[in-house]
Amino acid sequence: MTETPLNGEYDDWLDSIEAGEGYYLKCDGGHGWLPPRRVCPDCGSRDLHDEPLPDSGDIVTHTTVAVATPQFKDDAPYVTAIADFGPVSITGLVRGVDPEDVSIGDVVGIEVGERETTGDRAVVFRPR
Amino acid sequence: MTDPRIAGAGVTQFGKHPERTGRDLFAEAGLEALDQSGVDPDDVDALYYGNFMGEIAEHQGHQGPLMAEAIGIDAPATRLETACASAGAAVREAVKTLRNGESDVVVVGGAERMTNIGTAAATDALAIAADDLYEIRAGMTFPGAYALMARAYFEEFGGSPEDLAHVAVKNHEHALGNDHAQIQKPITVAEAMDAPTVAAPLGLYDSCPITDGAAVAVLTTAEYATDHGLDAPVAISGTGQGGDNLALQDRPQIARTPAADKAAAEAYADAGIEADDVDFAEVHDCFTIAEVLAIESLGLFEPGEGIHAATEGTTTRDGEIPVNLSGGLKAKGHPVGATGVAQLATIAWVLEGTHPRADAAPDSTVGVAHNAGGTVASTTVHVMEVKE
């Protein structure tokens, strides 16, 4: 275990995904966000409650990163994508598919994996 | 209220100066700006200073007072940080304090030292303009973020990497003869297309270089310029700033930059102009796709049309609306915290007819500067006009 302090609700959110109980925050205006949030940036509502994260999302854009930062040097080349889960979109690493074969519209599930370079936890998408 | 004037500007050579300190870069540009302005340094009321990665690159925070003393002025000095739009934000503060009567003379500038830490560490430092929890931890780099925007743009509006290559070719050609520019090398579309991938679909020639440099301008009220007989015909007639969600994933549209839409609308209204009045623009082309998004947000092209502008020659120096006559960030270089003021200097020099590419816009009276931070979560737009 690391002695680095955790990032509060963000790490709790990763825990929830690892446990298969992923969630997002929804305001009474119907806007979705990821934690930590105390107020909806869209409508100003402070009434945010947990909702189950949909089981899968659609890739809306993606890139294959060849020139990485030192924290990802052993991961490169790798695919980073944004996937639309309905009320929220999430950024993650796409694994389990050749980078050449990743396309907009691909359906992916979400899980928590490890960054190869550092072992840090990371959001991972896999094709469904 | 009258519009602030640009009394003088100074810009270092943008490039690799790993051994030069930020304070020395700033001093070179600042003293040149003061000398050119004819302003008594004792008259300077404030310094607004843009810098992004000083703590990382130089282990130096609290740079405002350091830069004031570097140019020999005794005035309150404040550093502003809005990632790559830091200097644009500094210009905006300078304009506000001159307009509201609190100051008669303001020095505005920026500096960035980047190459001393190497490409990998600089890439890391640039990435922190993104959301650490939700973007950087998912592998997003600065080029990677713009690659996500480029692919989303192609999906929504069409266009191709070849169109982006035309942006790079144009800006490289514009930088030829600009002694301030980091890259003065013509390239072809084929060379740009064949360059190594940085973050697909963006390659090496889609990306601005890593740059050391500084840019400084001396701004005064119109009254001060008149009273002191300054040669300062160019005014900043409009200022605007817009914001957006920091993370791309939280935006309704990834292939649009609404922060720049808002900044442009505010700046144009402030100046009393329309997009049709703009003669030329310096825009924030940290990546080729960023120029496309910028010229659409500025209202120079409709959404989805900006991608064809360089390919069709509309934004080249002999085109209808020249964009990035300096070479842009792409070829001139991008010392992050200095870029917004370097754009200001370029526009002033083009309007005054002293810039190497001024012949591309000989009768111009209105230039616009677009300076964007991160993935355009911060944007400033400034309208500049010849007033005399």
pTM (2 decimals)?
Answer: 0.97
Query: Measured between CA atoms, how close is A122 to chain B, in angstroms?
Result: 6
Stretch B83-89: mean pLDDT, rounded?
Answer: 98
Which residue bears the tokens 């990371």?
A122
Mutate to test the interface with B, among A42, A62, A69 (most CBs of B within 10 A): A69
Contact of A1 with chain B, judged by CB distance below 8 Å, is answered with no
- List pLDDT tens digits, range B243-302: 999 999 999 999 999 999 999 999 999 999 999 999 999 999 999 999 999 999 999 999
Are A63 and A78 within 8 A, CB to CB? no
Are B76 and B46 within 8 A, CB to CB? yes
Q: Is B208 a catalytic residue?
A: no
HSE (side-chain half, CA atoms, 13 Å) at A112:
17
Of A33, A70, A91, the CB nearest to B124: A70
Domain B5-117+209-386, CATH among 3.10.129.10, 3.90.660.10, 3.40.50.620, 3.40.47.10? 3.40.47.10
B148 contacts A61? CB cut-off 8 A: yes
Which residue bears the tokens 């754009």?
B343
Q: Say yes or no: A9 and A47 in one domain.
A: yes
Count of Cβ atoms closer than 10 Å to residue B96 Cβ: 15
- Computed over every residue of chain B, the mean pLDDT equals 97
How many residue pairs from chains A and B have C-beta atoms closer than 8 A?
100
Which of B329, B21, B20, B381 is closest to B178 using CA atoms? B329
Are B233 and B347 within 8 A, CB to CB? no
Question: For residue B2, is pLDDT > 90?
Answer: no
Stretch B331-339: mean pLDDT, rounded?
Answer: 98
Which residue bears the tokens 């998408």?
A125
Stretch B375-383: mean pLDDT, rounded?
Answer: 98
Question: For residue B221, is pLDDT > 70?
Answer: yes
Q: Say yes or no: A62 and A125 in one domain.
A: yes
Q: Say yes or no: A49 and A62 in one domain.
A: no
Q: Say yes or no: A65 and A44 in one domain.
A: no
User: How far apart, in whole angstroms, are the C-alpha atoms of residue B84 and residue B81?
Assistant: 8
Q: Which two tokens stand for residue A99?
A: 């980078």
Mutate to test the interface with A, among B119, B134, B137 (most CBs of A within 10 A): B137
Domain ranges of chain B: 5-117+209-386
* Contacts for A54 with CB less than 8 Å, ≥ 6 apart: A85, A86, A87
Residues for chain B: how many in total? 388
* Residue A84, CA distances (Å) to A109, B231, B373 in order: 11, 55, 25
Q: How much of chain B exceeds pLDDT 90, in percent?
A: 99
* SS3 of residue B145 by DSSP: helix
pLDDT band (50, 70, 90) for residue B1: low
Looking up residue A104, the CATH number of its domain turns out to be 2.40.50
* Residue A5: per-residue pLDDT: 82
* Contacts for B91 with CB less than 8 Å, ≥ 6 apart: B48, B108, B217, B236, B239, B340, B341, B344, B380, B382
> Which CB contacts under 8 angstroms, 24+ apart, belong to A118-123?
A118/A71, A120/A71, A120/B137, A121/A11, A121/A14, A121/B137, A122/A92, A122/A93, A122/B137, A122/B138, A122/B139, A123/A14, A123/A17, A123/A90, A123/A91, A123/A92, A123/A93, A123/B137, A123/B138
* Residue A3: per-residue pLDDT: 66
* Residue A4: per-residue pLDDT: 73
User: How far apart, in whole angstroms, are the C-alpha atoms of residue B34 and residue B29?
Assistant: 9
Q: Report mean pLDDT in 10-residue bins for chain A, 128 residues.
A: 78 97 96 97 96 97 96 97 98 97 98 97 97
Q: Say yes or no: A66 and A119 in one domain.
A: yes
* SS3 of residue B360 by DSSP: helix
What are the residues facing B111 on neighbouring strands? Answer: B214
Q: Say yes or no: A82 and A118 in one domain.
A: yes
Which of A29, A38, A117 is closest to A75 using CA atoms? A117
- List pLDDT tens digits, range A2-25: 567 889 999 999 999 999 999 999
Residue A123: phi and psi, rounded to 5, are -70, 130
Helix (H), strand (E) counts: chain A: 1, 8
Please count the structural domains in chain A.
2
B248 contacts A67? CB cut-off 8 A: no
Which residue in chain A has the smallest CA separation from B255?
A61
Contact of A68 with chain B, judged by CB distance below 8 Å, is answered with yes
Q: Say yes or no: A4 and A47 in one domain.
A: yes
B196 contacts A82? CB cut-off 8 A: no
Query: Measured between CA atoms, how close is B209 to chain A, in angstroms?
Result: 14
Question: For residue B388, is pLDDT > 80?
Answer: no
Are B41 and B27 within 8 A, CB to CB? no
Query: Measured between CA atoms, how close is A49 to chain B, in angstroms?
Result: 18
Identify residue B303 by its one-letter amino acid code: P
* Residue B252, CA distances (Å) to A42, B56, B249 in order: 11, 32, 8
Of B197, B247, B249, the CB nearest to A66: B197
> Domain of A3?
1-53
Domain-terminating residue out of A17, A33, A53:
A53
> Which CB contacts under 8 angstroms, 24+ apart, belong to B140-144?
B140/A80, B140/A91, B141/A65, B141/A67, B141/A68, B141/A69, B141/A72, B141/B199, B142/B286, B143/A65, B143/A67, B143/B198, B143/B199, B143/B202, B143/B206, B143/B207, B143/B287, B144/A63, B144/A65, B144/A80, B144/B199
Stretch B182-207: mean pLDDT, rounded?
Answer: 98
Q: Say yes or no: A73 and A120 in one domain.
A: yes
Q: Is B286 a catalytic residue?
A: no
Which of A71, A57, A56 is closest to A117 using CA atoms? A71
Stretch B54-67: mean pLDDT, rounded?
Answer: 97
* Residue A7, CA distances (Å) to A119, B242, B351 in order: 16, 29, 50
- List pLDDT tens digits, range B11-43: 999 999 999 999 999 999 999 999 999 999 999
Q: Say yes or no: A82 and A126 in one domain.
A: yes
Which of B332, B341, B325 is closest to B29 using CA atoms? B341
Chain A residues closer than 8 Å to B136 by CB: 69, 71
What are the residues facing B385 on neighbouring strands? Answer: B235, B366
User: How far apart, in whole angstroms, are the C-alpha atoms of residue B315 and residue B169?
Assistant: 12
Which residue in chain B has the smallest CA separation from A74?
B139
Q: Say yes or no: A48 and A105 in one domain.
A: no
What are the residues facing A93 on neighbouring strands? Answer: A80, A124
Strands B46-50 and A32-33: unpaired
Please tell me which residue in B180, B284, B334, B370 is annotated as part of the active site.
Answer: B334
* SS3 of residue B282 by DSSP: strand
Stretch B227-243: mean pLDDT, rounded?
Answer: 97
User: How far apart, in whole angstroms, are the C-alpha atoms of residue A9 and residue A35?
Assistant: 6
Alpha helix ranges (H) inside chain B: 22-37, 54-58, 63-70, 86-99, 118-127, 142-157, 161-175, 189-194, 222-227, 258-271, 288-297, 309-312, 328-332, 339-352
